[in-house]
Every structure is written in structure tokens, then in C-alpha cells.
Amino acid sequence: LPSNSVDENIGYIFTPTVADVDKDETFSFTIQNKPEWAIFDTATGSLAGMPTGSDVGTYTDIVISVADSFGEIASLSSFDITVVNTNDAPQNTDFQKNGDEDKILNITAEDFSNAYYDVDGDILSKIRINKLPDNGVLKINNEAVNAGLPIDLVNFSLMSFYPDKDWYGTTELEWVASD
């Protein structure tokens, strides 16, 4: 029997098997209610494809039939395929902050939220700083941030960059968003 579910962005394939007592026959397959994301092979009866996030949902009453060279027709029972939504990783982009020499530069939740996108519509819940800025210290609640540790959203508005004394110029931090 064909699988009745597939996760988005994962390949789906079903090929029926044919048993016929007559020898040396050719077969021709047809399908009713083929999902838009799938391809159907009339020579093998194979139904295959890779549904995406826009294909999430249930495709009902799919019927694959086969006809032999004598015109005999057989059909599988109708079946459904549900394309299951999976959590897609969020994306984040760079953002720029400007400050004055020897002044603390605050980095807010809004700075991170404005540079965050999630195709599933999930909200930003955590960030992870992969690379700390040079020429100063990044702090939360007056404690130095360690690279690689998750930081909960509740702490975002309390993040600050303390530049080294008399330093001015450009520095950067690398971060990753989590939903």
C-alpha cells in the first residue's frame, strides 16, 4: 500500500506491483486526483515528487489503475496523502548599530527581531552569538556573554556592547536565530 503521509521537502515515491497470469503483456497506468507536486509515470505507475511547504495539506481519493494489453483494468483502493508541515529553520540577516567612542552601545530585542525571518511564522525565541565582537565586551545584565551559548528572548533588551577605552571603528558579532 502507498504511504499516506510525507514531510514537506522530503521525497515521496510509490510504485505499484502488477501480477497477471497472462504472459508477455504490456501495461498502462492512469491516475485520478494526482497531487500537483507529484509526477506520474504511465509506464510504471510510479507516483513521485517532493512536496514543499506550499503543498502542506491532504490530497484525497487518489486512485491508480492499470490496464493490460487485453483491456482488463484493475485499480488500487483510493488513498490519501498528507503532506506534513515541518519546522523550517529561521533566517537572520546582519544589522548595523552605531555608537560613540567610550559609550556603551545597547542592542535591543527589536534589533534582532527586525533582522529575523521565519517562513513558518514562528516568533524569535533565542539567539546564539557565534562570534563575539572585537575591541570590547558584549554583556547581558552586566555579565560577559560567552560565544556559543543560547540567549533567551527575555534577555535581549539588556544586551550591551562595552567598547575598549579610546577605541573607535567597526566591529561585528555573528549570531544565529532560533524559533
pLDDT in tens, 136-164: 999 988 889 999 999 988 766 678 999 99
pLDDT at 27: 93
pLDDT at 121: 87
Cβ-Cβ contacts under 8 Å for 55 (sequence gap 6 or more): 8, 35, 36, 37, 83
pLDDT at 76: 96
pLDDT at 141: 83
The pTM of the full predicted model, rounded to 2 decimals, is 0.65
pLDDT at 44: 96
Q: Compute CA distances 164 → 53, 136, 171, whole Å.
A: 46, 5, 11
CA–CA distance, 167 with 84 (Å, rounded to integer): 52
pLDDT at 1: 82
Residues 77-129 pLDDT 10s: 999 999 999 988 899 999 999 999 999 999 988 899 899 999 888 889 999 99
Q: What is the dihedral of CA 109, 114, 116, 118, to 10 degrees?
A: 110
pLDDT at 142: 85
Averaged pLDDT, 49-61:
96
How many CB atoms neighbour CB 70 within 10 A?
A: 8
CA–CA distance, 24 with 44 (Å, rounded to integer): 15
pLDDT at 155: 62
Residues 14-49 pLDDT 10s: 999 998 887 778 899 999 999 999 999 999 999 999
CA–CA distance, 145 with 151 (Å, rounded to integer): 9
Euclidean distance between the first and the last CA atom of the chain, given in angstroms as a whole number: 36
Coil, strand or helix: which one is 138? strand
